[in-house]
Amino acid sequence: MSGLVLIGPPGAGKGTQAKILQKRLGIDHISSGDLLRAAIATGTSKGRDAKRYMDRGELVPDDLVVSLIEERLIEDAARAFLLDGFPRTVRQAETLADMLARKGRSIDAALSLDVPTDELVARLGGRRTCRTCGAMFHMVFDPPRSPGVCDRCGGELYQREDDNEETIRARLRVFEKQTQPVLEHYAKQGKLRAVDGRGTPSEVSERVVAIIGDAR
């Protein structure tokens, strides 16, 4: 296996599934959202540029996100990887294919995590993330043992700035308009695999693993 991409609207569980798959399959997890948030946290110029778009729930420009992904893919050039949140536009998908082809690699399959809109909004509004280890919780569906504190490492839990109702709605519209065409792009290549994203993280990961088994 060379590479997989995980596509889904915000709240579909991309990050959660990617972390489970990273452990189960020993593949490299590359999240464009995490790379962007890290660039913001370290105060780089790319981070400053990206923040303006992210705060509004819009996509950051293709060139910016492509450059971060390319740096990261070069670091681990030989390992199988799972891209989470990238590509989000057809142009990103095409650039990715070119980037990989230069190294004799390609995407094996694009997994589409499907979850109804009402459930996405409920999931995102209650989402909390650990500042220290990145573990994710949900105020209702998966609450931490003590409020505001990570069960795993004791770190502080925070709500992402873009997880407020208005920005969530904007991100869902952006998905419909800009990322749905990416699903069609992979469908045309025969690489699209749809996964029912409803249920618990382990139920969903069982479905994902069954599908990846076929793609390998």
- Name the burial class of residue 162, with classes exposed (0-12), middle (13-18) and buried (19+) by CB atoms within 10 angstroms of its CB: buried
> Is residue 127 flagged as an active site residue?
yes
- Are 195 and 111 contacting, i.e. CB atoms less than 8 angstroms apart? yes
Binding to ligand AMP in span 116-175, by CB under 6 A: 162, 171
CB 137 within 8 A of CB 128: yes
Q: Least Å distance between CB 15 and ligand AMP?
A: 7
Q: Is 108 helix (H, G, I), strand (E, B) or coil?
A: coil
CA 128 to centroid of chain Cα atoms: 16
- Beta pairing class for 157-158 and 127-130: antiparallel
Structure tokens at 149: 């504190």
Instruction: For ligand AMP, give the closer residue by CB, 55 or 145.
Output: 55
Residue 102 is a catalytic residue: no
User: Is the Cβ–Cβ distance between 170 and 163 less than 8 Å?
Assistant: no
Between residues 37 and 207, which has the closer beta carbon with respect to ligand AMP?
Answer: 37
Which residue intervals of 126-200 are DSSP H helices? 165-174, 180-188
Catalytic residue list contains 14: yes
Considering only residues 166 through 205, tell me which ones interact with ligand AMP, judged by CB under 6 A.
Answer: 171
Binding-site member from 51, 53, 164, 209 for ligand AMP (CB under 6 A) = 53
Q: Tell me if residue 88 is catalytic.
A: yes
- Token digits of residue 50: 């990206």
Is 47 or 87 the residue whose CB approaches ligand AMP more closely? 87
String marking each residue 63-102 x if it binds ligand AMP according to CB under 6 A: --x-------------------xxxx---x----------
Q: Is 33 in the site for ligand AMP (CB under 6 A)?
A: yes
- From the CB of 172, what's the least distance to ligand AMP, in Å? 10
Q: Which residue is nearest to ligand AMP (CB)?
A: 33
DSSP E strands in 13-135: the ranges are 28-31, 81-84, 109-114, 127-130
Q: Provide, rounded to whole angstroms, the least separation between the CB of residue 63 and ligand AMP.
A: 10
Applying CB under 6 A, which residues contact ligand AMP? 10, 32-33, 36, 53-54, 57-60, 65, 85-88, 92, 162, 171
